[in-house]
Amino acid sequence: MFKLHGIYAPIATPFAGGKIAYDKLEKNLDFWLKSDLEGIVVMGSNGEFVLLSSEEKVELMRFVCTRAKGKKPVIAGTGAESTMETIHLNEKAAEAGAEAVLVVTPNYYKGSMTDPVLARFYTDVANVSPLPLILYNMPRNTGINISAKLAVELAKHQNIIGIKDSSGNIVQIADMIRNAPKGFSVFAGSASFLYVSLVLGATGGTLALANVFPNECARLQKLFEAGKMEEARNLQMVLMDSNNAVTERWGIAGLKAAMEMIGLYGGPPRSPLVPLGETDREALRKILTQTGFFPKPTV
């Protein structure tokens, strides 16, 4: 069974002229695949997966998995509104060569997404998934929270191997780690609480900031696992402003602008999202520069 450990980057999807720019993605992948990342996530929230067609999702998974094969594991985001579509995408992820699938909560009918309904959704999907399944808790975007109680219940399923929790609720993360069966991995969903999650027993993280500072994010976990707690804590403090900038403050537009500043291709988000304006770009540049990790050589 695939083991969830280390730092993953939920990679951005590049667009040009409204279409996925595969030539740009190939160059970006070269940077990430040569980094200290454990692996990559395709079609996570930072990959603008909700703005992709079903056909684009399948093509994108194939492209990324083909180029990452033999280099780093790929986790594919396959969560959809219906159980049927999620199962379909899981099958396509397996065909593409992904190691696991990351499944976000259905959320349009959020008033109906009770714990029993979500338990049935994840169980039905996991029962037939050809790949191990990772729960994805993203309440800021979905308006739905996977409670610690529900996560622990689902963790008993042999094909559900972990959770990416982006809630930032440290008490909830602690409860999951404390009560879940041995072997169930809890991943921090943001670099802003990576260190404290590791202290509690998390096994890694899927971090937007790892698109921009992959080696630095990976280094934090390596320092922690080497027992260099003060160095790890200090690095956590350095990363926090940059992480906030490319997540809560400016989101996808900020992440793509930051990528351009280190020599990757960011490009515009897909409509209706809009690129970062010049004033905000300069503010972002100052934040990245303050880390001491920027500017970096272009790829």
Q: Which residues are designated catalytic?
A: 136, 164
Is residue 134 classed as helix, strand or coil in its secondary structure? Answer: strand
Which two tokens mark 58? Answer: 């399948």
For 242, counting Cβ atoms within 10 Å of its Cβ (0-12 exposed, 13-18 middle, 19+ buried), the class is: buried
Q: Distance of CA 22 to CAs 40, 43, 94, 171, 270, Å?
A: 16, 14, 21, 41, 15
Distance CA 70, CA 221 (A): 23
For 61, counting Cβ atoms within 10 Å of its Cβ (0-12 exposed, 13-18 middle, 19+ buried), the class is: buried
Write the CB contacts of 240 (distance below 8 Å, at least 6 apart in sequence). Answer: 191, 192
Pairing of strands 100-104, 19-20: unpaired
Distance CA 8, CA 96 (A): 19
For 271, counting Cβ atoms within 10 Å of its Cβ (0-12 exposed, 13-18 middle, 19+ buried), the class is: exposed
